[in-house]
Amino acid sequence: MTVPYEELKKDFKILDQHVNDEPLVYLDNAATTQKPDAVLKAVEAYYNTSNANVHRGVHTLAERATTQFEGAREKVRRFINAPETAEVLFTRGTTTSLNWLAQSLGDLVVKPGDEIVISFMEHHSNIIPWQQLAKRKGAILKYIELTDEGMLDWNDLENKITDKTKIVSLTHVSNVLGVVNPIRKIADYVHGKGGLLVVDGAQAVPHMPVDVQELDADFYAFSGHKMMAPTGIGVLYGKRQWLDQMEPVEYGGEMIDFVELLDSTWKELPWKFEAGTPNIAGAIGLGAAIDYLENVGMSEIMDHEQNLVAYLMPKLEEIEGLTIFGPHKTEDRTGVIAFNIDGVHPHDVATAMDMEGVAVRAGHHCAQPLMNYLNQPATARASFYLYNTLADADKFVEALKATKEFFLHGLD
């Protein structure tokens, strides 16, 4: 291991605290991640030295703010290897990105009787916008089934994606199963049928190298806050060929070229889609988070998380009555581990683990169709990130064992 992860943890002040008299072990990174000093400092420096509105003033601060904001867009472009910054739209997050697509792309390409295909492992933000689009247009929404291990069932994918399919929208990495989907292979298949592929990258971009050209996704959405940036900033990448034809979803300042009484024209990409004052500080924070991630290295981060999972899996498999959802093979997954202890409600598991200072999430993880599919009302979930260490993994196992003992045998 080349990166000194123990050292790197010191960049995150929030992690240096006790919760319920125990050192905090933060394992809820799929929900949101902590922010390093460098990101907080970048946001503070922006407000202290350059705060102004972007794209409208000619005064010095306005120019500085615009340069930094557009500089952040260029960092995002480079980070995901998009061909041009015109194809990188700033949004509030993955949810907004996917809603924009269901509205705007939906209006452009979906007609009554057309088909939209998603899967049983999607987050609600990659279900409901398509569900509503299907209702609005009289289109048909289909779900790809999963294998017993929780991976996309390729045979069923081939059954569901037909010549009638206009849009396929799939997650790159599941926020419950941790499974990584073969996006390039899927893109080739979807394109062969004449459809478009939308990818929900909320759980992928923070954890592995992502190259949108290599993946050949038509659209790719992700959130800043899951990759150490502030909340309220996210990205929608789209191929120019489609964005050019799509209508904006929101109208107002910043996105117009000329406004007349009864009609208006739009600015060029990417600004056509970005109505109103954007989250300037958030974008600058995202740029700083990208610098931090690149400094560590995305391949290193992926290896680190896979090492943690490889270290953990055999220890977890030894615990009787513990069910782990999703594939057990490390190479098929990231550091998201959903689990249940027989006879103990996942909310009780999360509460008891919090007493040990270990923060895990319990619930349906905004994936109710997946919970029904797995026949579970809810699960507990630990999700790891680059600042988690082997010691955190040990503490997690220890807290899990103590929780199981407590609920099954009480204090005696």
Instruction: Output 86 or 152, the one with its CB closest to ligand 7TS.
Output: 152
Quick one: which H or E segment has residue 199? strand 196-200
* Pairing state between β 196-200 and 219-223: parallel
CA–CA distance, 198 with 112 (Å, rounded to integer): 20
Report the amino acid identity of residue 90. F
What the block records as the tokens of 73 is 């867009």
> Would you give the binding string for ligand 7TS spanning residues 148-187, x where CB under 6 A is met?
-----------------------x---x------------
Instruction: Output 95 or 340, the one with its CB closest to ligand 7TS.
Output: 95
In 356-389, which ranges are continuous DSSP H helix? 368-374
Instruction: Output 95 or 403, the one with its CB closest to ligand 7TS.
Output: 95
DSSP category for residue 65: H
Residues numbered 221 to 280 that lie near ligand 7TS (CB under 6 A) are: 223
Contacts with 94 (C-beta within 8 Å, 6 or more apart), sequence order? 123, 125, 200, 201, 202, 221, 222, 223, 234
The answer to whether the CB of 52 falls within 8 A of the CB of 65 is: yes
What the block records as the tokens of 338 is 């959903």
* 103: contact with ligand 7TS by CB under 6 A: no
Binding region for ligand 7TS (CB under 6 A) out of 196-204, 240-248, 341-349, 392-400? 196-204
Cβ at position 215, least distance to ligand 7TS in Å: 16
Task: Pick the catalytic residue from 88, 309, 366, 386.
Answer: 366
Instruction: Output 65 or 102, the one with its CB closest to ligand 7TS.
Output: 102
Cβ at position 236, least distance to ligand 7TS in Å: 11
Contacts with 103 (C-beta within 8 Å, 6 or more apart), sequence order? 129, 133, 249
Cβ at position 179, least distance to ligand 7TS in Å: 11
Applying CB under 6 A, the site for ligand 7TS has a residue count of: 16
Binding region for ligand 7TS (CB under 6 A) out of 78-86, 120-128, 251-259, 343-351? 120-128
* 306: contact with ligand 7TS by CB under 6 A: no
Measure the N-to-C terminal CA separation of the chain; round to a whole number of Å: 42
Counting beta carbons within 10 angstroms of the beta carbon of residue 285, is it exposed (0 to 12), middle (13 to 18) or buried (19 or more)? buried
Cβ at position 406, least distance to ligand 7TS in Å: 25
What the block records as the tokens of 249 is 């979803």
Instruction: Output 65 or 205, the one with its CB closest to ligand 7TS.
Output: 205
CA–CA distance, 26 with 354 (Å, rounded to integer): 10
Cβ at position 230, least distance to ligand 7TS in Å: 12
Check if 366 is active-site. yes
Binding region for ligand 7TS (CB under 6 A) out of 11-19, 74-82, 155-163, 198-206? 198-206
* 203: contact with ligand 7TS by CB under 6 A: yes
Give the burial string for 34-73 (b: 16+ CB within 10 Å, else e).
bbbeebbebbeebeeebebbbbeeeeeebebbbebbeebb
The answer to whether the CB of 254 falls within 8 A of the CB of 278 is: yes
Instruction: Output 161 or 198, the one with its CB closest to ligand 7TS.
Output: 198
Q: According to CB under 6 A, which one of 105, 168, 353, 366 is a site residue for ligand 7TS?
A: 366
Instruction: Output 86 or 176, the one with its CB closest to ligand 7TS.
Output: 176
Per-residue CA distances from 85 to 96, 162, 229, 239 (Å): 19, 33, 19, 11
Residues numbered 63 to 102 that lie near ligand 7TS (CB under 6 A) are: 93-95
* 365: contact with ligand 7TS by CB under 6 A: yes
Report the amino acid identity of residue 24. L
Work out the number of other CB atoms within 10 angstroms of the CB of residue 158: 12
Residues forming the active site: 366
Residues that bind ligand 7TS (CB under 6 A): 30-31, 93-95, 123, 125-126, 171, 175, 200, 202-203, 223, 365-366
